[in-house]
Structure 1
């Protein structure tokens, strides 16, 4: 995971292909498209696709969080093109931009850390900034996509989900310090991350130079995360898809998103489910649908037909004189959800007309047509045509 200092050199909007004033929905849509195209599971062995996947995941992690996005935009305006020169640029007595965000020697656990605190201290929010320098911050929510087949959606499934995302460093447990050591409270600022200075008639706060605004000092940074407390890792989770899940439905996995900062709880992981079509069955809520071709004689004379279900087959009685397009209902043969809610199987009968007739079939149909000569199958239309002199 990149440090906040590195974030300044990146254009997350360009990474996702959206404008800087893009809405949250536009950002989410762009991320989902790029993540799907470049997911490691869809591009095995493709290093470029994996690199792009990590880049768009990082960009989405910042731009999808309103607080992080605001701080990122502020930082880009201030420092993205060398602005705020009084704080850096190698000038004598200047304050390095790296000091603002915290370097390898300071504890940095994702987000922009002290940027909002620093700006608050400079422009009259010193107490609030000091109070928030080490305030715990909940981790960002993360969203990913899975594809399942129709039967898995109906019956439920347990799937492995491979994610490449920021996670709490397993070596240091997230505190950024080398195992066996712990961060110590900065003696200069007493853990506030800020020190006060007076200049003439003005008094203002600035980031503590010793701890770089973090409030703690890490003497021995963790070798795994270089003091960040967070590292980007590929992990595999088990996702339980409940029976009856719908296409485009989101499943929430609490606490499986980005890790929190300062000991706060992790964000949530949302798994968006995409369900493939079935070659025979359709779906309306909890009801399954199927269209069954039947012959004219089955509709006219009635009879019994055999219909497939997801678990086997059933027999349905077709009443005599049934019209093509009529739907029969098989109770309880649809989708059953975990809470016991149950749907039906809706069977639509569709008359099948043969494309070719042999001599015997033709003679039989001609005889039938003569026998039915007095029967008008469309009386309403005939009456209308008569009124119009046809």
Structure 2
């Protein structure tokens, strides 16, 4: 992924206001609804959201500037040079790198449960209880001393409203250098917490590694404002359509829909699109509330001005 500053087109000295302006401008240009024929539109929009997520947060921006996290917001792994067979290799200055796909594992979460797939090495599905701590437990032989396990690690995983609603695959960097693909099930709510057993910090005493906990958070959105499980947005409606009535296209998390605007619709009127909001606790979705913003023609019209003078005079 590219440098967040390059993605937003701002300098490293840009303040919060500059970053916000750049994000809003690009979000309108790159939103998938505005680029329906471009197969890479969703990827570019996700890259923009990730860049904004890092640079709009003072702590994350500082971590990126100091080299503590990468352009995807993941902790930078220590460098390794691997030894054969897919494991880490010892290089001249220590360990750095892994061999190809052997560092990648995939986790999927959904109604069917959780599984892990390793690519390279032994491959295949492993026991779910061993990964997530549902089954097997580590015990010392004869009840003797057990080395202290490594520390647990908390990871916050930002997802867009669309990803939480429709499902997605997200890559997470772990402290041991692994990159793990986590599949987000459709309808995942903010605050959902996943346990990855043995994927935390290594033990300093040769014991088991700690666990990694991944918590889902919602990223900010350029079009929608969150209100609980509902979403709010401003809907620009031309003056003529507000007066005469028309059908307008309204962007939603699952694609644009048509909304019938009645004649003589005033600015500020709000329309409710049921089930077009965020996932809720009942397994359904909240609503989308579209507030009408009446806009004037882009170019001045002498006829319109004359009509307004006439109407103003009649009202007086």
**Greater Rg, structure 1 or structure 2?**
1
**TM-score calculated relative to the size of structure 2:** 0.48
**TM-score calculated relative to the size of structure 1:** 0.40
